[in-house]
Amino acid sequence: MTPAALSDRTWEEVRDLDRARTVLVLPVGAIEAHGPHLPLGTDVVIAEAMARAACAQLAVEGPRAWLLPALPYTPAPFGAAFAGTLSMRAETLTELVLDLAREVARHGFAALAIANAHLDPAHLGALAEAVSRARAEGLPPIVFPDLTRRPWAERLGEEFRSGACHAGRFEGSVVMAARPDLVREEIARALEPNPASLSRAIRAGRTTFAEAGGERAYFGAPAEATAEEGRATIDTLGAILAGAIRDALAPEAAA
């Protein structure tokens, strides 16, 4: 099922929509190095797959969800030294998401949900700041399940939980499922596993992929990626976002 996209609609179709029962879903990724085998837009591919899966699941049980065009520009300082990475200031992302939340409120939509696949600490902090400021302004909720936190991280497999999951088996599998034409599979199969944990490196104060042990901008086991695992991961990511949306809009959450 192809989810409804706001940008494909006319203004009169949006005018006549029951917007108070409709959530807008924003995929958010980065243009950032993902090893020698995955594209710079890997996070965007994953975020869009997550958003589509969530919209499909919500179409069955509600509420209605419409897809927004993906946002690919965000803080990416960990990968900034690699050719092609485009890193923005954290404040830029916070203000953009907050302005979008204000537009969601102005048009009477129920919530803005973020399908996020980029885990750079600066990026996550910028999104958390937007969520906090939107709440303080009394805007409709920004639904943002941070995949690095419980309970969501526990649902995403051993490699993800290890922290060695940038351009490895976890992300490579999703791209193989969603956009196999973008995977340099011969290169991926030849890459040795890199078990260095990004999450531990971050806690130790490292600030770049190279400092964390990822001289080629990948962590984990790229050669183990499969499209089958990717499809299962996409379903799980969609379920995480759909569940977070339902929780945010539950009557007890609004009380």
Whole-angstrom distance, CA of residue 252 vs CA of residue 66? 24
* pTM score: 0.95
Helix, strand, or coil here: 146? coil
The mean per-residue pLDDT over the stretch 172-195 comes to 98
* 255 has a pLDDT exceeding 50: no
Q: What percent of the chain has pLDDT over 70?
A: 98
Q: Are 40 and 130 in contact (CB under 8 A)?
A: no
Task: Tell me which CATH code domain 18-247 carries.
Answer: 3.40.50.10310
The mean per-residue pLDDT over the stretch 151-175 comes to 94
| Residue positions counted in the chain | 255
Q: Which of 39, 43, 60, 36 is nearest to 189 (CA)?
A: 36
Backbone angles phi, psi at 126, to 5 degrees: -65, -40
List, for residues 197-230, the tens digit of each pLDDT value. Answer: 999 999 999 999 999 999 999 999 999 999 999 9
Whole-angstrom distance, CA of residue 209 vs CA of residue 115? 23
What was the pLDDT predicted at 1?
65
**H or E, element range at 115:** strand 111-116
Residue written as token pair 């069955």: 60
